[in-house]
Structure 1
């Protein structure tokens, strides 16, 4: 059966080898709406990959993916074979393209694609060694005007990707951004313009390594209807947490649906361990000592 008639792909426990030399019409996914890859390894020939990208930079075709409603890649790792910097330099030189122009060209090409039907997009539990492949998804956000959930949990992220600063421009309908179970140490959101969205945005940052949130960051959340879930982070409950505490109280009253996100417990100082931050008044927090 031709791939163009398959609407749902659900593949688990697989080894996929990307072949850039063969164009098989049976692999067309023009009518595919849901794709799931789970517990898979994708093997890519780096040499052929670069050649393919150069050849198609000026002729990017998004049509085959515009029908997608959900795309899930869970516990997927990538292996890159035959990667040789000398070969890469030769390929780029022969094509008359420098390395920076090549990288920018790929990112610009991706921005041309608008996925009108996508409502759920996930890249979770992926091998941290696959950063070479995952990074483009963080450097360039595909335009998905109807996306509701973006899940990038459990990927060993060390910081909030810079592209998320303009996340509502790319995803104006986004309701949930899942960055839980990573290694993020601080929040660094900006330009979370609520005028681009019709409702609040829930950002899941549970189980990271965040110790405090700045006053400016709290203000950014308050002004743009953003609910940030910081439970199970090593929060320090001292004077620096006063603004975070006021934000938690605001969540409880403004968005009752998300009231449990205010149940943040202290990790420091030692005498306040496992106690709720929201239970302390400002004076106590500012005079609290280990």
Structure 2
């Protein structure tokens, strides 16, 4: 089959085994626009993977899938077989490449890739199941200048993915960053400069473990037209949350479309304010809370 004639791939319930010893140029996907992998398992031989990457470090270029408009991986498990840190280190040593050089070379090659056509990118319900690949989200550093939606929901993430911290740099046209249904406790972003974008940015952080947002970060959100959805988080309501309350009021007045997003944020702590709407509390009440 000549993949170059297939515009859309939609694969469900699959088992994919990566084979770095085999390559068929006839399976080009240079004209593919939409790819979906759902309910799949991807098995990768750790040694073959590392060897292949080392052999191609100097010749690495972007994937041939630069025509992609959407790429979805949903409920996909990565299984790395024969994983052993000591033996993998020996592979690098035999090739005369340090682990740091190896990692930096891969990242540098990826950063040079520009996916002009990508508008939707999803990695949800991903299970890496390997120490070698325990944060798949930090591996994607491709620039997507026209990306509109970036979905990282439902991945048990403990922090904001590293690639999402500089979202304006990699994705200047991004409108929705979905980090909902994870275990994020602290919000951390950088390079939120709104001058790089023509639209407000909606960051979905519903159903995480965020208890507070710093005043400095709130100010950055205000200055750069960022709408953060904090519903269903264990918000601590006290004097330190006054700036967050004012930010929620700002969302409601400046962006009526997102009014519900702001007005429905409730307090989880302390117990006397539990389930009360943060945006409706007086500053005096918040600052009277003893913590």
* Normalised TM-score (structure 1): 0.95
Give the Å deviation of 1:212.
1.0
- Could you tell me which residue of structure 2 aligns to residue 286 of structure 1? 287
2:199 is aligned with 1:203: no
- Could you tell me which residue of structure 1 aligns to residue 270 of structure 2? 269
Deviation string 1:64-83 (CA, Å, 9 cap, x unpaired) is 11000000000101111122
Deviation string 1:151-203 (CA, Å, 9 cap, x unpaired) is 01111111113333321011010000000000001112232111101110000
Q: Name the structure with the higher helix share.
A: 1
Indicate how the Cα distance of structure 1 residues 95 and 131 shifts in structure 2: closer, same or farther if over 3 A, else same.
Answer: closer
- Could you tell me which residue of structure 1 aligns to residue 122 of structure 2? 122
Task: Tell me how far apart the structure 2 counterparts of residues 100 and 242 of structure 1 sit (CA, whole Å).
Answer: 44
- Could you tell me which residue of structure 2 aligns to residue 241 of structure 1? 241
Task: Tell me how far apart the structure 2 counterparts of residues 28 and 15 of structure 1 sit (CA, whole Å).
Answer: 20
- Could you tell me which residue of structure 1 aligns to residue 183 of structure 2? 183
Secondary structure of the residue aligned to 2:67 is coil
Q: Which moved more, 1:60-69 or 1:217-226?
A: 60-69
Secondary structure of the residue aligned to 1:106 is helix
- Could you tell me which residue of structure 2 aligns to residue 257 of structure 1? 257
- Could you tell me which residue of structure 2 aligns to residue 22 of structure 1? 22
Give the CA RMSD over aligned residues. 1.6
Deviation string 1:225-274 (CA, Å, 9 cap, x unpaired) is 10000000011111111000000000001111111111101111112211
Give the Å deviation of 1:130.
5.0
- Could you tell me which residue of structure 2 aligns to residue 43 of structure 1? 43
Indicate how the Cα distance of structure 1 residues 25 and 46 shifts in structure 2: closer, same or farther if over 3 A, else same.
Answer: same
- Could you tell me which residue of structure 1 aligns to residue 141 of structure 2? 141
Structure 1 unmatched runs, 5+: none
Secondary structure of the residue aligned to 1:59 is coil
Give structure 1 regions of 4+ aligned residues with deviation exceeding 4 angstroms.
none
2:14 is aligned with 1:9: no
* Normalised TM-score (structure 2): 0.95
Give the Å deviation of 1:60.
1.8
- Could you tell me which residue of structure 2 aligns to residue 231 of structure 1? 231
Task: Tell me how far apart the structure 2 counterparts of residues 128 and 273 of structure 1 sit (CA, whole Å).
Answer: 36
Q: Is the 8 A contact 1:212 1:241 kept in 2?
A: yes
